[in-house]
Homo-oligomer: A and B are copies of this chain.
């Protein structure tokens, strides 16, 4: 069910384009075998169901994902999306404009939390 081959392949392609690297499933040393189903699900339901579709450009999808993870307060996910955004050509200045747009709609506290995450991504990029 959650192992449809065509979806998985489309997901892996979209993941590669978006992040600039191959998908490597994360696993923990104490995971039960069933956890593989969840990992596949997370990949298929985002990259397979949506990123692989041509109807909306990757740039727009990047801003949507950055916005959602900032609104939900999911900092690790926000950092992944900001890093991937830079990989696909979104500039630092555009990320700043995005933060300025957030400020009025989401308020200053959540925007500052997002800014902190963004700065950690920039520090990581500079360290490479």
Contacts and interface: CB of A to CB of B under 8 A. Distances in A.
Interface string A51-78: 0110110011101110111011110110
B45 A103 contact: yes
A93 to B, nearest CB: 5
Nearest to A8: B1
Interface in A16-58: 28-32, 34-35, 37-38, 41-42, 45-46, 48-50, 52-53, 55-56
Interface residues of A, number: 69
Contacts of A109: 68-69, 72, 74, 77, 105
Contacts of A115: 38
Contacts of A45: 45, 49, 103-104, 108
A104 to B, nearest CB: 4
Contacts of A1: 4, 6-7, 10, 48-49, 52-53
A50 B98 CA distance: 9
11 contacts: A32-B96, A38-B115, A42-B112, A45-B45, A55-B97, A63-B63, A64-B67, A76-B112, A104-B108, A105-B107, A105-B108
